[in-house]
Amino acid sequence: MKPLRVALLGCGVVGSQVVRLLGEQADDLAARVGAPLELAGVAVRRLGRRRDVDVDPALLTTDAEALVTRDDVDIVVEVIGGIEPARSLMLKAMAAGKGVVTANKALLAEDGATVHGAARDNGADLYFEASVAGAIPLLRPLRESLAGDRVHRVLGIVNGTTNYILDKMDTTGATFNDALEEAQALGYAEADPTADVEGFDAAAKAAILAGLAFHTRVTAADVHREGITDVTATDVASARAMGYVIKLLAICARSDDGRSVGVRVHPAMIPRTHPLASVGEAYNAVFVEAESAGRLMFYGAGAGGAPTASAVLGDIVAVARNRIAGTRGPEESVYAELPVHPMGETVTRYHVSLDVADKPGVLAKVAEVFAKHDVSIQTVRQEGHGDDAQLVLVSHRASDAALSATIEGLRELSIVRAVASVMRVEGEDTP
């Protein structure tokens, strides 16, 4: 059988593993595809650079544009990342009839419409399992296995760096800065950790997941995003004392009436008994709640060269099989056209910690503010120490707008010395 030829764009952490696996697993891959897979070329920025894998120098090129349209290329694998030149190269490849495999979450979340549109217009395959949660098979189950079901909610830990940091804070009592330094020393966090700790990476993944889960279009700009830089050791300890753990969650949910969706990334307390609570280190896990399937969880390595390459290879095999069969995989399915509602309309719960004067009547005044905004209180815990007291309240479900207004009202009370922390509580309600 005639080999299928793969052009690789980028030969960094993921790309070098793709090269290695295409070589080492050649026999298995050929058996699974029904034809050998061959590397046609590898586009890199600089030819002479040291790489983690031996690449035949004759395959290396700096001319990515020429590579993606070459007649002897069937499949283009994009692992450069970022918006440009990745987007232009993918569009060129699809226009030239190539199947495309990408790990590019930023591009899909920011400008998915263009890329998916090009796939549709050109009848080209576009596979992107590696763009979310690394090796965890998540997009294929959402797109295909659950195609006959109705997803209500996706709730997940989709950023390994922040999970490592929060896990360290939880298990050792470390501060955010100390945990971040450790993560950097171990290579889990980059020198500039902004994309991870401010939630940009998770927000891009949340946009992709929401689009697939609800068959609608969601972009990174639609995602309400809060990072973990303000999470203190006190917050973590307080959560622990109440049987919770703090995780950076990506939450994609239908509204109660099903007519809109909310997509958000923020730190939240979840009960220690929740399956996501035990996801430690840099692991990822995603919880999916569907009408018929019930609660499903997918767990695994969310990043790293080899795990991400595993997802890329799975997609290469799929595109290769499609080309042999003369067909293509499932298209983007955005028929639902559900609006993304603002964060204020999201229904959630708050954990609020207040520093208050320790005198009679304080709770009554605080409770009045909650009542004024129609937010009911689930639990209250008061701890006095001398003149001061700490008041910890957990609300019932209410709109985020009502909860925000409640916090504003509390700040205006003279008996409230400080709003020490405010954090959402998730994972206790089922749809």
The residues assigned a catalytic role are 205
132 binds its own copies (CB under 8 A): no
DSSP-assigned letter for residue 144: I
Alpha-carbon distances of 380 from 22, 113, 202, 351, 409, rounded to whole Å: 58, 47, 32, 10, 18
| Tokens encoding 365 | 């005044």
Per CB under 8 A, the list member of 25, 260, 390, 421 interacting with its own copies is 25
Min dist. Cβ of residue 191 to its own copies (A): 25
Place of tokens 């593993």: 17
379 binds its own copies (CB under 8 A): no
Hey, which residues between 100 and 129 contact its own copies (CB under 8 A)? 129
361 binds its own copies (CB under 8 A): no
Query: Judged by CB under 8 A, which stretch of 47-55, 175-183, 295-303, 353-361 contacts its own copies?
Result: 295-303
Per CB under 8 A, the list member of 46, 325, 387, 412 interacting with its own copies is 325
232 binds its own copies (CB under 8 A): no
CA 423 vs. chain centroid, Å, equals 20
Min dist. Cβ of residue 37 to its own copies (A): 9
1 binds its own copies (CB under 8 A): no
Residue nearer to its own copies on the CB measure, 308 or 406:
308
Which amino acid appears at position 389 of this protein? A
292 binds its own copies (CB under 8 A): yes
CA 83, 86, 88, 93 dihedral sign is negative
Place of tokens 């955005």: 334
296 binds its own copies (CB under 8 A): yes
Q: Which helix (H) or strand (E) holds 252?
A: strand 244-254
186 binds its own copies (CB under 8 A): no
The DSSP-derived string for 58-85 is GGEES-HHHHHH-TT--EEEE-S-SSTT
Per CB under 8 A, the list member of 13, 96, 233, 306 interacting with its own copies is 306
Q: Prior bond to 307 cis, omega within 30?
A: no
> Could you give the CA distance from residue 318 to residue 328 in angstroms, rounded to a whole number?
9
Contact assessment for residue 271 and residue 428, using Cβ atoms and an 8 Å cutoff: yes
Min dist. Cβ of residue 354 to its own copies (A): 34
Using CB under 8 A as the criterion, which residues of the chain lie in contact with its own copies when the complex forms? 17, 21, 25, 28-29, 31-32, 129, 135-137, 140-141, 144-150, 215, 275, 278, 285, 290-301, 304, 306-307, 309-318, 321, 325-328, 330, 333, 335-336
